[in-house]
Homo-oligomer: A and B are copies of this chain.
Amino acid sequence: MAAMKKILECVPNFSEGRDLEKIEKIIEPFRGRDGVKLLDYQSDKDHHRSVVTVVGEPQPLETAVIESMGVAIDIIDMRTHKGQHPRMGAIDVVPFIPVKDITMGEAIEVSRAIAQKAADTYNLPVFLYEKSATKKDRQNLAAIRKGQFEGMPEKIKQPQWAPDYGPAQIHPTAGVTAIGARMPLVAFNVNLDTPHLDIANQIARKVRHISGGLRYCKGIGIELKDRNIVQVSLNMTDYTQTALYRVFELIRIEAQRYGVNVIGSEIIGLVPMEALIDCAAYYLGLEDFTMAQVLEARIWE
């Protein structure tokens, strides 16, 4: 019934997590704008960082993101910024995620257009990362961000770290920004009935990609001291390829070696419905089920 629209999600991370008035100013461009919807924002004082979640059609979303970046550049001074989370700029990172009727290719195009415009408008060096990266060693945000704001003036002068857009020197107060397209990320934690962190860490090593596990899975062990248990804390970087139920069942199986049980799990933040419906389809053994059978998916398609 609704007109066909392309919907893109954007989750910009700003290096301001303490001054609520400043945060409101940065978010203001996402409010009350046709074709853009602010879904969520969370600020963390220790990290001194705010994470905003917004969805929209590509064109109005682009306008809103560029405006918001301008506000952040005006009011954040990285020279005095201290926080626990690694960061390299006032607008640290701006990921774009395809949500509806939009391909990854289109999301990459949008990310590049915004990177170009931000660089031109604000004289800001921008690195393309993840699916938008122009070189393999820029896919990983951590590699780009290594050295952080303080190390960036020297790093950016090296030819291999020349920015994709903007000058080869940092913005004096806003540093540099990474912009790119990526798959939706699901933060999924699995709780174990043991207080031993080493068990969670050993299981994390078994299931995560880097040490022999599932392709689109990152994981570490975490202590939940108030509950006297541990959890395997996971970032599922492509649930369409590595389903949540698969890592959940693997963790259950690995935990058996230690006489440990999985006692629950949690999703942090937002999750695409398909990531959970895939799990229901697995556990119920649904035959020939497709997302086209989901009422809401069909009404709004």
Interface residues of chain A, those whose CB is within 8 Å of chain B, are 1-3, 5, 7, 9, 35, 37, 39-40, 55-57, 99-100, 184, 191, 244-245, 248, 262-267, 269-273, 276-281, 283-289, 292-300
Contact = CB atoms under 8 A, between A and B. Distances in A.
Contacts of A2: 1-3, 300
Contact of A273 (B262, B269, B277, B279): B277
A40 B293 contact: yes
B299 A271 contact: no
A270 B287 contact: no
17 contacts: A1-B2, A1-B5, A1-B56, A2-B300, A39-B299, A191-B287, A244-B280, A245-B283, A245-B284, A248-B284, A267-B289, A269-B293, A270-B293, A270-B295, A273-B295, A273-B296, A277-B277
Given A1-B5, A1-B35, A191-B287, 7 more contacts: A1-B37, A2-B3, A244-B280, A272-B294, A273-B296, A276-B294, A296-B297
Secondary structure at the A interface, as helix, strand, loop or mixed, is: mixed
B265 A286 contact: yes
A269 B262 CA distance: 34
A51 B7 CA distance: 31
Most buried by B among A279, A280, A281, A294: A280
A250 to B, nearest CB: 13
A279 B279 CA distance: 8
A164 to B, nearest CB: 28
The 7 closest A-B pairs by CB, nearest first: A2-B2, A279-B280, A276-B280, A264-B285, A283-B283, A280-B280, A39-B298
